[in-house]
Structure 1
Amino acid sequence: MAEALSDHDETDSIDSVVPSYREEAMGDDGDIINSAKKMRASGLSYEKVKVFSDGKCAEEEAVKYNNFKWTCCKINDTEQGTKKYYKCSFKRGSNCPAKIYLLFHASNFEVTLFQAIIRHDHTRECKQTGIPIEVKNVIIELFQNGYTTPKAILSELDKLKIIQPKASQISNFLVTLRKKLYGPAQISLNCIKNWCIEKSIIPNDPDECFVANYYIKDDDANPLFRLFVTTKNLMKNCLNSNHVCADATYKLIWQGYPVLMVSTTDKQCAFHPFGMALCINEQTDDFEFIFKSLQITVEKLYNINYCPIILVADTSGAITNGFINVFNVIEKRIMCWFHVTKNIDTRLNAIKDKKMKTELRQDIEFMQLIKNETIFDAAIKLFQKKWKSKKCPLINNFIDYFINEWYMSNKGWFEGFAIGYPSSNNALEATNGKIKSLYTFRERLPVGEFLSVLEKDIIHQLSRERNVDDIVTSQNAKSFANTPSINLSLWTSTYHWIKEEREVIIMKNNDGKKMHFIESSSFQDNYEDFNKEFMKKLLYNQQNVNWCDFDIMKGEQLSFWECEFLNESENWIKSTCSCPACLKYYICKHIIGLAARYKLCSIPLEAKNIPLGQKRKRGRGAKAKKALIVQ
């Protein structure tokens, strides 16, 4: 007990308070200086030079005093008045000690100029801070090539064997660079309005972007803006086509706003945009705005009432309603086949039987290739009858969905719905992907930055690619094609088809037109003789919709192709055929083959070069086996 008390007393005798830390300063001679005493810097001596009666005149004189360049570096408020200090800025990076200051007297309006009693020294260089100019130029070049993050830039600098600055320095420099190239990241409705007013003048340059139409509602509760940008060269394509492709794309703007695009396609399936619109939503009013902008701009540029009759889009009702509200009529509303298959495949995933799922998909693909609406209506009924007879709940649910969604509501997805027009928006979707990969580098940009990219890069480049009048771009420019083109591959397949000597029967169809009925490659799998009697039977079934089974109808329709051939030297390429190739690409080997048989065209020699053997496949080839072993 006594020992315990003794230990307790010793503990209390020790100081339990931890002393605070005091930093010790070192003098020039290495001795420790008391940190409580602050070292005062040696001040400069100044002499009075001149007195001014006006502060403005004094500041104008100060920045060019004694023919040197002076920059304001500090402002101090004292009892005498405000002192405004200037340093000598002979050149960037110099560390000249010369200084002056202006004293704005507190007691009166006079301003006195004082000069430090020290000579100029322009030989002294200050220590390099920040990123060197040479490295900045490399970073700018990398940024323009798509390296937009500090990590990616550091990796490229390492490959180039360039001394790397800090990642934080690169990050700060990129912020400054983006602001310089694209303007501020945040933007107000007033800034957008001023930008639209500035860009609304139609330029003389056909590839220069301008704002064709805009609408801004500056309301705190419900702010709204819409703007449509284009070029004179892009608007020219409105005169060549009577169908419009429209769609909205996302993931371009950080705020989540959609970008709307309107375009058309030519007979070579090439994409030709009219312009792009930036809106807050993608509702009926937004699409009505973009279609109205098209109509107004065409009338302003060419004094023509633009009124297309066919619309190609997905199932969006907003696009359809906006089109009708502007143009008052819509003859054909084509549903994009890609969006149809995308929705159908999602529903088909509920069916676990792979064989049934594959057969269902093949039947739908066959119906997409049907050549007219009468046969399509009959095929839908037989298709429903065939699959309802399976008495499978999952299949019944899918058939009910398919009939309601893709027959009763949205019917225009088969090729025969509008012959001579595209059945999908694939060209527009591909362009949206190109914009994201080449111009925004798959980054979501703020509105202000995106407007700059839209003006200087996207719209300008889309227009330049289609400028056939410019000598610089005319060689590779995408001109609007009114007739399909024939490449070497198509010439070759035509030559092989001619050599097969398939049967071609000339007779009138159900409408009384003289037609060429061509034996298909699948005919011999189901039938024996391709003759007039056989064709009369098929045409009778087709005219009277005399089918009781879906598979029988499918076999008959795929056994022949119906070609309306124009036996004219100049117009034969405008002939039509019911084969899938012609329905999708407006030209096929059957049309070219008939033209060659009628001596309206000749097969080029390059197409007749038949390669020997099989093309070597990818990967490592098999080694030669031992002798006397067949390989």
Structure 2
Amino acid sequence: MSRRTWHECLSSTSENDIVSFIKENNVSTYRTEHFQVGKTITYRCTEYRKHPLCRFQLKSRESNNKFTLFRSESHDHSQRNDITRLKSPVRDIVRQMSDKGMTQTQIRKTVSYSRLKTRKNIISIDDLQKWCNQYLNCPSSDKLHDIFVPYYEAIDVDHIFICITARQLLSMCKYSSILAIDCTYKITWNELPLLVFGTSDFNRHFHPLGLCLISTDEAADTFKTLFRVLKSCVPLIIQQPYDITHVMADGAPGITSAMCELPNARRLMCWAHVIRKCREHRKLVLHKEKWLAIEKDIYNLQLVFNDHLFDKAARLMIMKWTADKDLDTFRKYFEDQWLLSLPFWYEGSANLIPSTNNDIESFNRKIKQMYTLRNKLSLSSFLQTAERMLYDWSLASISTPFAIQIEFNDDLAARAYKWLQKLDRIKVLRLGAASYVVPSSEPKMDTLLWVQYYHSISWNSYDEFIDWLNSARLLDFSRLTPPLFCSCKYGLKEYSCIHSLGLLMMSGHRKIPQQLGIRRGKGRPKKVKLALTKD
């Protein structure tokens, strides 16, 4: 998501003026922040849950008894979010039944009897196997949205693996070799976890590929089976080879052990889980000031943009922590867990790939919110719900196609042009056929020295490395279309930044936005200035 643009809309010395303006705009408090210069309160639309496209926000700043109000975006209530309550016609029918004297128990029995007629009751392993056999054959190419079961194992409740997908969903694999995996729980009465797998496009949107009903998410055999199913099934759908190069997941040891099935793939670790686990171990550091310094070091290390730099920076950071005996316990934990066992959580471990699993975890939340309604379902009810889920996902993949390139928005273009005007073009260095180095906004060294350190990798301390890292940005234009690689924070995480777009403008590959400017007024300019002027 791009950064917000704020415009000043009101300034006053009276807090009542700010309060009245806020009430008129139908907003509620979103975030309160305290700074040395004063307090900042951010407000958002009170109906943001009902209308997901509404990004309207207000921001109030208090400083020296002066109040300034800024606004961003505008109210957009064109699309209403899906609700989980019963539809109006159904509620009316239930209300009429209640008015005619039917009790709550009678209504429930009526619903249960209707479900027995419309749903297949699955109470045994044989029933489950019969259901899987009905969907075992892959549909023809003209039935893109029909679900099928490419593989299943149903021996007992402790040995279940049922993979369910659709042709349209698996067709997304032709655009991406990334596989994201996550499990969600409390789905069925049988306490069977639900494994959801998918991939992400260049707009960082998650595209589900299918789901698996499994008996356990701790055994490596579960994930080995998933990898084997995808390697055998996907090439038949997309009519081309399919090689998984990256697997994004949390710290589940079963996934780590199963990576032997994908010898050429890199097992990525979700950055959000890493920093969350580190914060859970902050009690190993007694002093708060030292913990804040450690957290800052970890955040800086996560922004390293290639493997060689990460290895060097990690050694320098551990060397820095070793000098303080109070950090020994946390240092050993961090080194064992996040440098030896699961080291690929930094941005450079996989460029132009999301560094977190947040998108699939948010997707799992929608499954419970929109489909299971946060209830544990019987197996027959869940399988019917799974059919509806996969059908909806398959249709949505057509209306929201896989993004194989990105488009720069107008706000970013304006900021890139502003950055280009301030750029000293003499300091822009060309490293190769498509690689450039540009100075950052707060450089600690010039770009020529930056390049020398980049090739020699000869920093003496971790702080010296961080100063080097923040002094310039490395860009790679080897891709013909955006996204383009940039080593700045926004380039690594959002795949678009002012540096890449600004250099495209400088080289003539991107049109420079035309400034509106001010037209010349009527009459001729004054030939003689006023004799007395006041500054």
Unaligned residue ranges in structure 1 (runs of 5+): 1-143, 468-476, 610-631
Indicate how the Cα distance of structure 1 residues 487 and 444 shifts in structure 2: closer, same or farther if over 3 A, else same: farther
Distance change (3 Å), C-alpha of 1:301 and 1:372: closer
Q: What is the deviation of 1:347?
A: 0.9
The answer to whether residue 168 in structure 2 is matched with residue 233 in structure 1 is yes
Kindly indicate whether the alpha-carbon contact (under 8 Å) linking 2:429 and 2:438 is maintained by their aligned counterparts in 1.
no
For the 8 Å contact 1:506–1:514, the answer to whether it is kept is: no
- Give the aligned partner of residue 415 of structure 1: 347
The reply on whether 1:571 has 2:480 as its aligned counterpart is: yes
Answering whether residue 408 of structure 2 is matched by residue 501 of structure 1, we say no
Instruction: Determine the C-alpha separation between the residues in 1 that align with 2:342 and 2:378.
Output: 36
2:230 to 294, 314, 317: 294
Amino acid at match of 2:396: E
Query: Which AA in structure 2 matches 1:452?
Result: Q
Amino acid at match of 2:498: K
Q: 1:461 aligns with which of 387, 392, 415?
A: 392
Gap change, CA 1:347 and 1:197, over 3 Å in 2? same
Question: Which of 181, 185, 189 pairs up with 1:246?
Answer: 181
Deviation of the 1:439 alpha carbon:
0.8
**What is the match of residue 176 of structure 1?**
113
Q: Are the equivalent residues in 2 in contact too, given 1:572–1:595 (CA < 8 A)? A: no
Q: Which structure would you say has the larger Rg?
A: 1
Q: Which residue of 1 aligns with 2:63?
A: none
Report the TM-score when normalising by structure 1: 0.63
Amino acid across the alignment from 1:581? Y
SS of 1:408's partner is helix
Partner of 1:580: 489
Residue 308 of structure 1 aligns to a residue in which SS? coil
Distance 1:210 1:565, change over 3 A: closer
Q: Give distance in 2, aligned partners of 1:318 and 1:336.
A: 15
Q: Residues 115-264 of structure 1 correspond to what in structure 2 (within 5 A)? A: 146-147=84-85, 157=95, 165-180=102-117, 182-184=119-121, 187-203=123-139, 204-217=142-155, 224-264=159-199
Amino acid of the residue matched to residue 211 of structure 2? M
Distance 1:303 1:356, change over 3 A: same
SS at match of 1:573: coil
Q: Are 2:455 and 1:521 equivalent residues in the alignment?
A: no
Name the aligned partner's letter for residue 425 of structure 1.
N
Given that residues 193 and 216 in structure 1 are in contact (C-alpha distance below 8 angstroms), is that contact kept between their aligned partners in structure 2?
A: yes
Q: Which residue of 2 aligns with 1:318?
A: 254
Question: Residue 235 of structure 1: SS of its match in structure 2?
Answer: helix
Cα distance in 2 between the residues matched to 1:349 and 1:495: 46
Separation (CA, whole Å) in 1 of partners of 2:241 and 2:509: 39
Structure 2 spans left out of the alignment, 5+ residues: 1-81, 518-535
Other structure's SS at 1:251 match = coil
Q: Per the alignment, do residues 600 and 448 of structure 1 end up closer, same or farther by CA in structure 2, a change over 3 Å counting?
A: same
Residue 391 of structure 2 aligns to which amino acid in structure 1?
H
Deviation string 1:353-373 (CA, Å, 9 cap, x unpaired) is 333222211110110000122
* Structure 1 residues 452 and 504, CA gap change in structure 2 (3 angstroms): farther
Residue aligning to 2:281: 347
**Cα offsets for 1:401-427 (capped at 9, x unmatched):** 001110011111111122232222222
Q: For residue 413 of structure 2, what is the amino acid of its counterpart? A: W
State the distance in 2 between where 1:164 and 1:553 align.
77
1:440 aligned residue: 372
Tell me how far apart the structure 2 counterparts of residues 217 and 604 of structure 1 sit (CA, whole Å): 64
2:447 pairs, out of 535, 549, 572, with 535
For 1:570-609, list aligned pairs within 5 A. Answer: 571=480, 573-604=482-513
1:551 to 463, 466, 474: 463
- C-alpha contact (below 8 Å) 2:440/2:471 kept by paired residues: yes
Alpha-carbon distance, 1:173 to partner: 3.5
In 2, the alpha carbon distance for the partners of 1:223 and 1:364 equals 40
2:320 maps to a residue whose letter is K
Structure-1 separation of matches of 2:192 and 2:234 = 26
Calculate percent identity across the aligned residue pairs: 26
SS of the residue corresponding to residue 453 of structure 1 reads helix
Change (3 A) 1:179 1:354: farther
Q: Distance in 1 between matches of 2:319 and 2:279?
A: 21
Q: Distance in 2 between matches of 1:371 and 1:382?
A: 16
Cα gap change, 1:462 to 1:514, in 2 (>3 Å): closer
2:173–2:238 contact (8 Å) kept in structure 1: no
Question: What amino acid does structure 1 have at the position aligned with 2:302?
Answer: Q
8 Å CA contact retained: 2:429, 2:447: no
State the shift of 1:232 in Å.
Answer: 0.8
| AA aligned opposite 1:437 | Q
Task: Specify the alignment match of 2:531 in structure 1.
Answer: none
- TM-score for the superposition, normalised by structure 2: 0.73
Deviation at 1:596, TM superposition (A): 1.3
Q: Secondary structure at the match of 2:274?
A: helix
Alpha-carbon distance between aligned partners in 2 of 1:548 and 1:391, rounded to the nearest angstrom:
20
- Please list, as runs of the form range in 1=range in 2, the aligned pairs for 1:52-71 lying within 5 A after superposition: none
Alignment partner, residue 134 of structure 1: none
Going from structure 1 to structure 2, the CA distance change for 1:145 and 1:195 (only over 3 Å counts) comes to: farther
CA contact (8 A) 2:429 2:448 kept: no
Measure, in 2, the Cα distance between the counterparts of 1:608 and 1:274: 47
Q: Distance in 2 between matches of 1:308 and 1:554?
A: 33
CA distance 1:161–1:250, change in 2 (3 Å): closer
Q: Which residue of 2 aligns with 1:381?
A: 315
Describe the superposition over 1:80-118 as per-residue Cα deviations: whole angstroms up to 9, x where unpaired.
Answer: xxxxxxxxxxxxxxxxxxxxxxxxxxxxxxxxxxxxxxx
Letter in 2 for 1:417: S
Q: Which has the higher contact order (CA 8 A, sep 6+)?
A: 2
**How many angstroms apart in 2 are the aligned matches of 1:384 and 1:247?**
31
Q: What is the match of residue 280 of structure 1?
A: 215
Give how far 1:492 is off: 3.5
Q: SS of 2:330's equivalent? A: helix
Shift of 1:572: 5.3
> Distance between the aligned counterparts of 1:227 and 1:484, measured in 2?
35
CA contact (8 A) 1:371 1:417 kept: yes
Q: State the Cα deviation string for residues 218-275 of structure 1 (Å, max 9, x = none).
A: 5xxx752211111110111112212211222212222221111221112221212221
- SS of 1:275's equivalent in the other structure is strand
Structure 2: distance between partners of 1:373 and 1:404:
18
- Give 1:279 deviation, angstroms: 1.2
Select 1:479's aligned residue among 394, 398, 401: 401
CA distance in 1 between partners of 2:106 and 2:367 (Å)? 30
Helix, strand or coil: the match of 1:538? helix
Letter in 2 for 1:536: L
Say whether the 8 Å CA contact 1:504–1:516 is kept in structure 2.
no
Q: Secondary structure at the match of 1:288?
A: helix
Q: Contact 2:170 / 2:209 at 8 angstroms: preserved in 1?
A: yes
For 2:290 and 2:266, the matched residues in 1 are separated by: 33
The letter for the 2-side match of 1:413 is W
Partners of 1:175 and 1:497 in 2: how far apart?
Answer: 65
Aligned to 2:301: 367
Evaluate the alpha carbon distance shift between residue 444 and residue 604 of structure 1 in structure 2; reply closer, same or farther with a 3 A threshold. farther
Equivalent position of 2:529 in the other structure: none
Structure 2 residue 412 is matched with structure 1 residue 490: yes
Q: Is 1:424 aligned with 2:336?
A: no
Q: How far, CA to CA, are the matches of 1:387 and 1:231 in structure 2? A: 51
Amino acid at match of 2:210: G
Shift of 1:543: 2.9
